[in-house]
Structure 1
Amino acid sequence: MKHRLFLVALVSLISLIVSPQLMASSESEVAQPEQAKTAQVALPSALTYLNNMKQAYNNLNYTLLYLNTAQNKIEPKQLVHGVIDGKRISYFTYLNGAMRESLQFDGKISFYQQGTKPYSLISHQDQSVFADIANFDFKSGNRSYEYIILGKDRIAGKKAIAIRMISKDKYRYSYIVWLDLGSYLPLRLDIINKSNIILEQTMVVSMNISHTVSPWIKQLSTQSTPDILTLPQTTTSNIAQWNVDWLPTGFKVIKDDQHKLMMHDTDPVSYLMLNDGIVSVSVYISSNKSLLADQQTIIQRGGTLIYTKQVNNAEVNIIGQIPLVTAEKIAASIKPVH
C-alpha cells in the first residue's frame, strides 16, 4: 500500500515538473509563426526599394562609369551628378569615338559635339542615364507594372538587389533594375520583351559616391553656356491636325505641335509626343504620301523601334522603346481632325 502511494506521489511530482515545460513548448510553437509573420512584414517591399532608388538618384553626389549594350554594340559612357544649392547638375559624356558631351543645370541642357557648334536648349526633363526609370511614379505605375523582388547579386563590386517590373499587358516592355544595397543607386537596367529576351542593357562598372559635390562639376556650373537654340516657328493654318484614338494604359499625349523635317522641305508635319512616365514615343504624321505607299518599314535597334506606315492617306513615323504591336495599334488609330 505504502509502495503504491509512493508511486502515485512520484507520478504527480513528475507531471508538475513536466507540465510547465510542455506549456512553454506549446506557447513557443504558437508564437513562432507570429514572430515569423512580423519578420516578413518588416522586410522592405519592392516598392520601398524603388522609391529609395528615386531619392538616392536625385539627391546624392556620384560618378558612374557604365556600359550601354544593344544588339552587340557596346558604348562606354560617364555620368557625373551633383546637387548645388538644392539644384541638380549632370555632366554626361561618351568615352569612345568623337567627343560628345552634355551639361544639364538650372533649367537648360547644353550640348557639345566635335565638329559642330555647341548649343543649349531649355529643358527641365532629366536626360541622364537611368533617369526615366529612376524618376518614375512607382505608386501610380502599379496600374501598368507589377513589382517583384528577384533576389540579390553583385554588380560592379557592390551588393545589389534585383527588382523586376513586369508589364501587365503586351503593349510595353518589362524591366529588371539592380540597386546598390548601400546607397540604393541603380547599377544595372535590362529592357526585356515578352519572350524574356534582353533587348538593351545598361550596367555600371564603377561607382563613386561623395559627401560633397565634385569641385570640377561645381566649377562647370559657374561657366557660361552656349546660346539657347531657338527653333523657327511654323505656320499651321493649312495643316491638317490629327488625333490618336488609342493609347496603351498609362500613356498620354504630352506634346502636340508642328515640325519641319529634312525629308519634308515645304510642309511641316504634325508631331505628337506620348509618354507613360518611363517611355517617350515620338509620332510624326505627314500628309505627303511616300512612293512606297503600300509598304511599311520596321527598324529595331535594341529596345528602340522605328516604324513607318501609310495610314489614312498619311505617312506615319513612330519612334520609341515600344513593341511592334503597340506601334501598329497607335498608327491604325490615327485619324484627321475634321
Structure 2
Amino acid sequence: MIKAVQKVILLVAFSFSAVSVAQVDDEALAQGADWYDRMNQALRELNFDAALVHVRGQRVEPYRWLHGLSDSGQEIEVLSGLNGPEYKVLRLDDHVSYYHSMGSPYSLRAEVLDGPFPSGFFYPFAEISEAYNAIAVGGGRVIDRPAQHIRVLARDRQRYGYSIWLDKDTGLILRAATLSVDGDVLEQVQLTSLQISDHFPDNLRELKEVTRPPMVEDDSNRREVQGDWDLSWLPAGFKLLRSNHHQMAVTGQQTDYFLYSDGLAKFSVYIGLRGQGTGPVQVEGADSLYAKELGNYMVTVVGRLPFETVKRIADGVQVAR
C-alpha cells in the first residue's frame, strides 16, 4: 500500500536543482507571487472537504480536512488523522484545540493549526519575500483537476524550497513537495479527494458551540532568558518570534529557549546546563537537529532546515562578551 501511494505521488516528481532565478523573467515571478496569494486566500475563505496523504519516507499518514467561512466571517477548520490513535484538531479563528486519545486535550492561541502544510502557506507572499522567490512554471493535473504549478525557491542555500500545485479554478492547494537545496524531494502532501461548496457546511456549523478544552497559558514567556548569549550567525530573513527560560517537559531541565522564523521555516535553540551522559547529537533529514557542548552547557538547534544550516547556527552560539 505504501509503495503504491508513493509511486502515484512520485510519478510527477522531478529534479529542480537546475532552476535558476536568473533565468526567470519578471512576469513569471509576478505570477508566482499572485498565485501564492491566491492560495492563502483560498485556504482562508473556501468551504471545502478534502482527504489527503502526508508522505515522509516510508511513512504515509492519511487525513480528513474540512474548512469553512461562516456568514459572520468566522473561520472553522478541522483536521483528523485517520490511522493509529485518534487525533483531531479544531480551529475557530485563533482558538485551536488539540485532541489525542493518548493524552489530555488542550487549546492554544494561533491563527493556523499545526498540520501537514507549512503555516506560511496561510499568509501573504509579502511575509516571506525577503527569503524566497515564487515562480509560476506551468500547468498540470492533480486529482483530475487542472492545476497551476509554482515553485517557491529560497534566495540562498540555507533553507528548503517547495513545489506547489494549485487548483486553477479556486487557487486551493492540491499538492506540495518539500525540496532539498539540491532539488531532492524530502516529503510530500497530496490531496486525494476534494469537494468545494458555495455554502457553509452544516457539520461545521455544529462545531461553533462545542465545548473546548482549557487554554494553555504560556507562563514561561514571562520569565526572561537567564544567560547572556550571542547567536553570531543566522540565515538572512530569520526573525526572533519569542524567547524565554523554562523547564523542559520531558527531562525537567531548565533551559533558555529561542524561536526564529523566516515566514516558512522555523528553528528553535535550546541552551541548558550539561546533564550526566549528555553529549553531541546530530540528526539529518527534513527536520534536522544538532547538539554540541559549549563549556558547561549544551546548545541544541532543531528545525526544518538543511543540517548544514542547523549546525552553523549552533556553532555560532557564544557567551556574549
1:94 corresponds to: 81
1:203 aligns with 2:203: no
1:175 corresponds to: 162
1:333 aligns with 2:316: yes
2:281 corresponds to: 297
Q: Show structure 1 runs of 5+ residues with no match.
A: 1-39
Q: Using the alignment, how far apart are the partners of 1:238 and 1:113 within structure 2?
A: 32
How far does residue 243 in structure 1 lie from its aligned partner after superposition? 3.2
SS at match of 1:221: helix
Q: Using the alignment, how far apart are the partners of 2:29 and 2:235 within structure 1?
A: 33
Q: Using the alignment, how far apart are the partners of 2:251 and 2:215 within structure 1?
A: 25
RMSD: 2.6
Q: Show structure 2 runs of 5+ residues with no match.
A: 1-25
SS at match of 1:55: helix
1:155 corresponds to: 142
SS at match of 2:209: coil
Query: What percent of counterpart residues are identical?
Result: 25
Q: Using the alignment, how far apart are the partners of 2:297 and 2:47 within structure 1?
A: 48
Q: Using the alignment, how far apart are the partners of 1:168 and 1:261 within structure 2?
A: 34
1:243 corresponds to: 230
How far does residue 330 in structure 1 lie from its aligned partner after superposition? 1.0
Q: How does 1:30-69 map to 2 (within 5 A)?
A: 45-69=31-55
- Alpha-carbon distance change, 255 to 305 in structure 1, aligned in 2, over 3 angstroms: same
- Alpha-carbon distance change, 245 to 209 in structure 1, aligned in 2, over 3 angstroms: same
Alpha carbons 2:222, 2:244 under 8 Å: kept: no
Q: Using the alignment, how far apart are the partners of 1:178 and 1:170 within structure 2?
A: 23
- Alpha-carbon distance change, 140 to 108 in structure 1, aligned in 2, over 3 angstroms: closer
1:287 aligns with 2:270: no
Q: Using the alignment, how far apart are the partners of 2:218 and 2:131 within structure 1?
A: 35
With 226-235 and 314-323 compared, the bigger mean Cα shift is at 226-235
- Alpha-carbon distance change, 233 to 210 in structure 1, aligned in 2, over 3 angstroms: same
1:19 corresponds to: none
2:304 corresponds to: 321
1:124 corresponds to: 111
- Alpha-carbon distance change, 158 to 133 in structure 1, aligned in 2, over 3 angstroms: farther
How far does residue 170 in structure 1 lie from its aligned partner after superposition? 1.1
- Alpha-carbon distance change, 214 to 238 in structure 1, aligned in 2, over 3 angstroms: closer
- Alpha-carbon distance change, 125 to 57 in structure 1, aligned in 2, over 3 angstroms: closer
How far does residue 285 in structure 1 lie from its aligned partner after superposition? 1.1
SS at match of 2:99: strand
SS at match of 1:93: strand
TM-score of the two chains, using structure 1 as the length reference: 0.79
Please tell me the residue identity of whatever aligns with 1:48.
D
Q: Deviations over 1:209-259 (max 9, x none)?
A: 111121111111111111223456599589324332221111111100122
Q: How does 1:214-229 map to 2 (within 5 A)?
A: 214-229=201-216
Q: How does 1:20-35 map to 2 (within 5 A)?
A: none
Aligned residues: 295
Alpha carbons 2:50, 2:191 under 8 Å: kept: yes
SS at match of 1:143: coil
Q: How does 1:73-112 map to 2 (within 5 A)?
A: 73-84=59-70, 85-112=72-99
| Greater per-residue helix proportion | 1
SS at match of 1:57: helix
